[in-house]
């Protein structure tokens, strides 16, 4: 009897997912039943999914780099309570933005296997519950930053959240330009870290913003190609999901290559501004060449865009992009103002 029940459950699950592609309005209750029978979810685990921990960690790493470099620019140690306060406030706003994003995308999430089990999509957390958490974290975090760091940091952080939730998220269903527009709030964390330390927007902060802005495109083209079928079925407009597939592949590759080439001079901007030394410039060139080489390999999807192997090619670029950025920032921090590590 036990094996019979397990077999029945395994047959129901694919049927539920396929029904969601036909009529999403009839799915939530059924999907909830299937998911809850498959495994239990604690409220704490659902909260962890809502705040997108991996995205939040990357935001905090880039913000911390900006704070570190800004502190050294001021001639003070970056290791003080101000760093903790800045990262805490940024983490609150980032978490709040992620929750609000999932609130807006709860129906879309039902249409993609990798997001199907999110708590708001499955109604384990209600819309009112999610909105309350999201707004509290976003506004409380912004006010906290304005109080503990400075007004400009609190304001920019709040505007970043608004741009991400109220502009970028709705545009994902309207135009492929959402990737370009979404890259603006996505590139602001290191600038926010800098303003938290310095209290002003300066050219080095703009350089950090530019690096993160350019870095995102090969990264997102790889993600888009990996999940292009999911995005297409959910009605999310990304370059990789456009038709015909050959055009989508060509456009994805052209954009990825264009920004991978620009990444090299963009990554050298901190050196030209004098906030790093030659060791960083050498490291930036080596890392940039690695990123570009990986993007050139990504161009292999043009040979046969429909082939299943192209997903592995895109995944390889994604892995390199995720390693590239922290390594570049680490090199920048180790060689800040031409010194080897902090003195």
Q: Pick from 244, 246, 238, 235: which is nearest to 221 by CA? A: 238
- The pTM score is 0.86
Question: pLDDT averaged over the chain?
Answer: 89
The phi-psi region of residue 76 (left if phi > 0; otherwise alpha if psi is between -120 and 50; otherwise beta) is beta
Question: What pLDDT does residue 340 have?
Answer: 61
**Omega prior to 275 cis, within 30 of 0:** no
Per-residue confidence (pLDDT) for residue 12, from 0 to 100:
35
Per mean pLDDT, which range of 11-20, 57-66, 218-227, 296-305 is the poorest?
Answer: 11-20
Give pLDDT, residue 337: 83
Residue with structure tokens 């990737």? Answer: 179
The predicted pLDDT at position 41 comes to: 78
CA distances 261 to 62, 258, 264, 305, Å, are 21, 5, 6, 23
Q: Which of 28-32, 38-42, 140-144, 229-233 has the lowest mean pLDDT?
A: 28-32
Q: Domain 202-343: give its CATH code.
A: 1.20.120
Residues 6+ apart with CB under 8 A from 257: 292, 295, 296, 299
The three-state secondary structure class of 76 is: coil
Q: What is the pLDDT of residue 39?
A: 52
> Cα(269)–Cα(9) distance, rounded to whole angstroms?
56
So what's the pLDDT on residue 342? 54
pLDDT at 287 over 60: yes
- Mean pLDDT of the region 323-329: 98
* pLDDT tens for each residue of 68-115: 999 999 988 899 999 999 999 999 999 999 999 999 999 999 999 989
Every domain of the chain with CATH number 1.20.120 lies at 202-343
Query: CATH homologous superfamily for 41-201?
Result: UbiA prenyltransferase (1.10.357.140)
CB within 8 A of 137, min separation 6: which ones?
Answer: 92, 93, 95, 96, 99
Query: Per-residue DSSP letters for 79-105?
Result: -SHHHHHHHHHHHHHHHHHHHHHHHHT
């Amino acid at each position: 009897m036990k094996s019979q029940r397990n077999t029945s459950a395994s047959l129901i699950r694919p049927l539920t997912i396929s029904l969601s592609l036909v009529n999403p309005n009839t799915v939530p209750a059924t999907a909830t039943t299937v998911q809850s029978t498959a495994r239990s979810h604690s409220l704490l685990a659902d909260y962890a999914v809502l705040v997108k921990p991996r995205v939040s960690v990357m935001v905090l790493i880039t913000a911390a780099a900006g704070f570190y470099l800004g502190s050294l620019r001021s001639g003070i140690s970056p290791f003080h309570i101000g760093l903790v306060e800045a990262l805490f406030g940024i983490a609150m706003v980032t978490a709040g933005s992620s929750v609000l994003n999932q609130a807006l995308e709860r129906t879309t999430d039902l249409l993609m296997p990798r997001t199907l089990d999110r708590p708001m999509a499955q109604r384990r957390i209600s819309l009112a519950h999610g909105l309350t958490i999201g707004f509290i974290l976003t506004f409380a975090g912004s006010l906290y930053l304005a109080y503990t760091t400075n007004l400009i940091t609190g304001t920019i952080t709040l505007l970043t959240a608004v741009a991400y939730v109220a502009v970028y998220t709705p545009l994902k269903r309207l135009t492929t330009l959402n990737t370009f527009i979404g890259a603006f709030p996505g590139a602001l964390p290191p600038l926010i870290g800098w303003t938290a330390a310095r209290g002003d927007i300066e050219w080095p902060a703009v350089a950090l913003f530019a690096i993160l802005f350019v870095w995102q495109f090969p990264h997102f083209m790889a993600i888009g190609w990996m999940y292009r079928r999911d995005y297409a079925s959910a009605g999310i407009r990304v370059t990789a999901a456009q038709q015909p597939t050959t055009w989508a592949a060509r456009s994805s590759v052209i954009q990825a290559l264009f920004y991978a080439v620009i990444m090299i001079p963009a990554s050298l901007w901190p050196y030209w501004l004098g906030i790093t030394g030659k060791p960083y410039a050498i490291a930036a060139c080596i890392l940039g060449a690695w990123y570009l080489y990986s993007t050139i390999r990504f161009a292999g999807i043009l040979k046969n865009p429909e082939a299943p192997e192209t997903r592995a090619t895109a995944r390889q670029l994604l892995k390199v992009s995720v390693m590239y950025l922290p390594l570049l920032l680490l090199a920048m921090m180790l060689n800040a103002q031409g010194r080897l590590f902090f003195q």
